[in-house]
Amino acid sequence: MRGILSAAPGPSAIRLMVGTHLLLLIQAALVLWSAPSIDIPLRILVGMVFAIAAGGLITAIHGVADEPRQDWWRRRHGR
């Protein structure tokens, strides 16, 4: 696992963090803080988006498992 804070972060962690979840986190926070008098259903929806974005950011920081490519190569070539 190579998370975003490791010495050599994996490309999937970088794409996951920058591409979607960090932007969603910022947008949801701005909506919640800019309009305190919005309706309850909209607040719940934005809160759920915020929770999903926070989960994606935590996953990006932790990192996702890499596929064992060397094992696949060895099996294919009979080694």
| Residue 42 domain flag | yes
What is the number of structural domains in the chain? 1
| The residue to which tokens 């070539």 are assigned | 77
Distance CA 43, CA 36 (A): 9
Whether residue 48 is predicted with pLDDT greater than 80 in this model: the reply is yes
Higher pLDDT, 67 or 39: 39
Higher pLDDT, 75 or 49: 49
| Residue 1 domain flag | no
**Which of 59, 52, 74, 73 lies closest to 10, judged by CA?**
59
| Residue 43 domain flag | yes
Q: pLDDT exceeding 70 applies to what percent of the chain? A: 68
Whether residue 1 is predicted with pLDDT greater than 70 in this model: the reply is no
Residue type (1 letter), 28: A
Output the pTM of the full model: 0.59
Domain region containing 40: 23-76
| Residue 15 domain flag | no
| Residue 3 domain flag | no
